[in-house]
Amino acid sequence: MQKQKLVLVGNGMAGVRTLEELLKIASDKYDITVFGAEPHPNYNRILLSPVLAGEQTVQDIIINEMDWYEQNQIHLHINKKVTKIDRKNRIVFTEDGTSAEYDRLLLSTGSNPFILPIPGAELPGVVSFRDISDVEAMLDASSRYRNAVVIGGGLLGLEAANGLMLRGMDVTVVHIAPWLMDRQLDEPAARLLQQSLEAKGLKFLLEKQTGALVPGESGRVCAVSFKDGDSIPADLVVMAVGIRPNTELAESAGLYCNRGVVVNDTLQTFDPRIYAVGECVSHRGVAYGLVAPLFEQAKVAANHLAEYGIGCYTGSLTSTKLKVTGIDLFSAGDYMGAEGTDAIVLSDPAGGNYKKVVLKDNKVVGAVLYGDTTEGSWYFDLLREGTDVSDIRSSLLFGQHNLGDSGHGDPHARVAAMPDSAEICGCNGVCKGDIVKAIRDKKLFTLDEVRAHTKASSSCGSCTGLVESLLAVTVGGDYSTAPSKKPMCGCTEHSHDEVRETITRQGIKSIPALMHFMEWKTPDGCNKCRTALNYYLLCAWPSEYVDDNQSRYINERVHANIQKDGTYSVIPRIFGGDTSPKQLMAIAQIAERWEVPTVKFTGGQRLDLLGIRKEQLPGIWKDLSEAGFVSGHAYGKAMRTVKTCVGSQWCRFGTQDSTTMGIKLEELTWGSWTPHKFKLAVSGCPRNCAEATIKDFGVVAVDSGWELHIGGNGGIKVRATDFLCHVKTEEEVLEYCAAFMQVYREDAHYLERTAPWVERRGLTYVKERVVDDAEQRKVYAERFYESQKYSQDDPWKARGEGVDAHEYKPMAILS
């Protein structure tokens, strides 16, 4: 088959990233030709600042060497600027007459530094800060001259100034606004920044307008004069006053441009054969100047070029960091605080610390941090997720580790402080040093990439937060923004929330239909997404959805726990942990009959029969059902146990009958599938012997009724519950419990326990649905009861009677 021809104009960060993404998913689709105006292979422009500062070399920042192009059979033309696109015949031409035909064209021409229209701007010795040749010119000047002036006190200007100063020059930064980085910082933060830069040796002239650049005898620039009449000596002038999308080529080809080449959500220009990504683009009226959004664009464009047609770019949120060693600042969103917002500020100029978080309707909309920036990514997460912070407002500025209830400290600060040998992923035994090395050497940007290369966080997932923090800490200096949404897994571009919404909105009722509709990238998904989809569909359509056995982990598929040696364990349900001699005898007899090697009490007050071979399962279940037991679901992402104390029946402190309450709760909730395992407990008085305050739903009896607690976890990361509310009657306990479980079932991501879910959504979110609005509570509870009608049938009984018999027998026994 004849391959289609793809031509890329612009060998920079966004364009080549698009090719990388494309090669990953459709390596054979196109014959690729690349034109680049610079004489280098693709390099990391961001790292020009460290190169200028002498912290890295040009060789260090090459992303793809020449042989990468060869290996991927890409025809590379470097040092060739494309000057004409013949759209009718689909050919591009360069200055020197080289041409290439295309079926699809990708424009990624970046932007041009903005040059002030003042006399002398064209003099030798006046440079911008954009590419390797600019850095070479600056390095050359720094070895021969003394005085440098940087015009522009923004991010680029400051990085240039810092680099030149480290190269030994005497540097003055001229800035027209009253404070530095006025597009990213408010005044107090900028003053602190200025102080520390001054302490390093930089000089500043603020609110100063440049009038002209003055030539010396040799014809090279020798001074800068200002509109107010002052002037200062300058042998090198760096203009860093802004950038303009480079649309020259696109415009000459008649493509619609408006402060950038205008593209739609699939990154196509007004000529659908021509795509554009990167800084040259204007998307929904926004042109981005940081790489993370451009990489998101790259991903979507690649997807479309591969004709998957999923993926849609809807814009990005960005945040900023300054790459000047020793200076920590962070800014994101609305950092000034527009009308209708509140700002919480901590200002400690003497200590070199400043924090401001801007809130609107109790949600974070912006933040500026100077000095201690470890909370930056946390605030950015809150901002992106739109988390309601009313509950933590008073301690917001003190950071995540001060939230009290999570008790484990801020992950970024924590991982930054960890030694390289610290183990991050216990499941796969991966330590911090390995991960950081992989991120650096292999240039990883996303969680999935880290998982693929190091294995970290690819098993139980409890270290995912740490790995994400490591990514943020390691990559953050270079790539200062993060994607605005996380896909469910490598099989799709869509997030959990999008998938759940699509299921209900489109009324989709099977996994293949959903994958087809949402244009899954793999034909049958993977174990991560299939298990999630199976749950989401089950939750959305309890009466209609046909469960997909092949999309369940082995434990749920065979309704027993797989153990390390491949045998299984079964746990019969003992409601409320309340048993009788008769029940115990029945279990004992069955255990003897089947020669069960180990019988053990679980942490949830149930009996565990361990060491059962798979083919024995139906038989033992049959016996257990006949003795009146149902499955304890101890293997499932499901309601597990209700732990109880003896309460007022026996205990001298007991105020209410916690055991009966526990039994009722278990009768109500058993058999229900949940995003992750779900545990309950009921204590008969505030002494809390049943440990209800580390359960997903905890009930503590008090004189006047019952206290309800949610979101506790006794597992890897201990978390005490949040107090939900106080209720008076037993009926209320049951109704609130049903409503809470249903909100969790309908909202949480698969494999997200209630603790991280409550932290992500905010306690207020839960209270609004379960406590504040009685109508809504009833609606949720009603949906829970409805779904229980279908899920409270015992899987053991059915299998004891022969359902899925093939599961438990070998297909053949050869002798």
Partner 1 sequence: MQTTNNQQNWVEVGRIEDIPLLGARLVKSPKGDIAVFRTQGDEIFALRDKCPHKGGPLSQGIVHGKKVACPLHDWKIHLDTGLAVAPDEGCAARFPVEVRDGLIYLSLEPDSGR
Ligand X SMILES: Cc1cc2nc3c(=O)[nH]c(=O)nc-3n(C[C@H](O)[C@H](O)[C@H](O)COP(=O)(O)OP(=O)(O)OC[C@H]3O[C@@H](n4cnc5c(N)ncnc54)[C@H](O)[C@@H]3O)c2cc1C
CB of 450 to partner 1, least distance (A): 11
Write out the binding residues for [4Fe-4S] cluster: 645, 651, 685, 689
Among 74, 396, 489, 685, binds ligand SF4 (CB under 6 A): 685
- Residue 720: left (phi > 0), alpha (psi -120 to 50), or beta? beta
| Residue, CB closest to ligand SF4 | 684
Q: By CB under 8 A, how many residues form the interface with partner 1? A: 36
Distances in Å between the Cα of 704 and the Cα atoms of 217, 693, 700, 770 are: 93, 19, 11, 20
**Gap between the Cα atoms of 406 and 679, Å rounded:** 19
Closer residue to ligand X in complex, CB, 90/679: 90
> Which 611-650 positions form the footprint of partner 1 (CB under 8 A)?
614
Task: Indicate whether 812 belongs to the interface with partner 1 (CB under 8 A).
Answer: yes
Of 75-83, 303-311, 323-331, 552-560, which part binds partner 1 (CB under 8 A)? 552-560
Closer residue to ligand X in complex, CB, 306/322: 322
Q: Which does 9 bind (CB under 5 to 8 A by kind): partner 1, ligand SF4, ligand X, none?
A: ligand X
Q: Residue 609 corresponds to which tokens in the numbers above?
A: 């029969």
> Residue 93: beta bridge partners?
84, 99
Q: Which does 599 bind (CB under 5 to 8 A by kind): ligand SF4, partner 1, ligand X, none?
A: none
**Gap between the Cα atoms of 247 and 794, Å rounded:** 66
Residue linked to tokens 């998957």: 308
Among 343, 346, 526, 627, binds partner 1 (CB under 8 A): 526
**Gap between the Cα atoms of 745 and 542, Å rounded:** 12
Q: Which does 479 bind (CB under 5 to 8 A by kind): ligand SF4, ligand X, partner 1, none?
A: ligand X
Of 62-70, 201-209, 276-284, 651-659, which part binds ligand X (CB under 6 A)? 276-284
Closer residue to ligand SF4 in complex, CB, 27/459: 459
Question: What does DSSP assign to residue 176?
Answer: S
Closer residue to partner 1 in complex, CB, 308/553: 553
Task: Indicate whether 350 belongs to the interface with partner 1 (CB under 8 A).
Answer: no
CB of 691 to ligand SF4, least distance (A): 9
Task: Indicate whether 84 belongs to the interface with ligand SF4 (CB under 6 A).
Answer: no
**Gap between the Cα atoms of 99 and 206, Å rounded:** 49
> Which residues have C-beta within 8 Å of that of residue 90, sequence separation ≥ 6?
101, 102, 103, 105, 273
Helices assigned H by DSSP within 630-729: 658-669
Binding-site string for partner 1 from residue 377 to residue 416, where x marks contact by CB under 8 A and - marks none: ----------------------------------------
Task: Indicate whether 554 belongs to the interface with partner 1 (CB under 8 A).
Answer: yes
Of 319-327, 345-353, 463-471, 561-569, which part binds partner 1 (CB under 8 A)? 561-569
Closer residue to ligand SF4 in complex, CB, 492/688: 688
What single string gives the DSSP state of each residue in 474-505?
HHTTTS----S---SSTT-S--HHHHHHHHHH
Tell which residue, 594, 599, 649, has the closest CA to residue 624. 594
Sheet of 74-78: strand order equals: 74-78, 30-36, 4-9, 104-107, 274-276
Binding-site string for ligand SF4 from residue 640 to residue 659, where x marks contact by CB under 6 A and - marks none: -----xxx---x-xx---x-
Closer residue to partner 1 in complex, CB, 203/455: 455
569 with 561: CB under 8 angstroms? yes
Task: Indicate whether 249 belongs to the interface with ligand X (CB under 6 A).
Answer: yes
CB of 460 to ligand SF4, least distance (A): 9
Closer residue to partner 1 in complex, CB, 250/306: 306
The SS3 of residue 655 is coil
User: For residue 700, which phi and psi values (nearest 5 degrees)?
Assistant: -125, 125
Q: How many CB atoms lie within 10 A of CB 23?
A: 19
Beta strands in 493-638 (DSSP E): 561-562, 568-570, 598-601, 607-612
Among 33, 64, 109, 659, binds ligand X (CB under 6 A): 109
What single string gives the DSSP state of each residue in 250-269?
HHHTT--BSSSEEE-TTSB-
**Gap between the Cα atoms of 634 and 555, Å rounded:** 9
Tell which residue, 598, 620, 625, 600, has the closest CA to residue 611. 598
- How many alpha carbons lie under 13 Å from residue 470 in its C-beta half-sphere? 33
Among 377, 480, 656, 754, binds ligand X (CB under 6 A): 480
Of 230-238, 411-419, 550-558, 779-787, which part binds partner 1 (CB under 8 A)? 550-558
Binding-site string for partner 1 from residue 770 to residue 809, where x marks contact by CB under 8 A and - marks none: ------------------------------------x---
Q: By CB under 6 A, how many residues form the interface with ligand SF4? A: 13
> Which residues have C-beta within 8 Å of that of residue 811, sequence separation ≥ 6?
none
Residues that bind ligand SF4 (CB under 6 A): 645-647, 651, 653-654, 658, 683-685, 687-689
Residues that bind partner 1 (CB under 8 A): 427-428, 452-455, 458-459, 522-527, 530-531, 549-555, 557-558, 562, 564, 566, 614, 806, 810-815
Residues that bind ligand X (CB under 6 A): 9-15, 35-38, 45-46, 48-49, 81-82, 108-110, 129-130, 156, 246, 249, 278-280, 289-291, 294, 323, 478-480
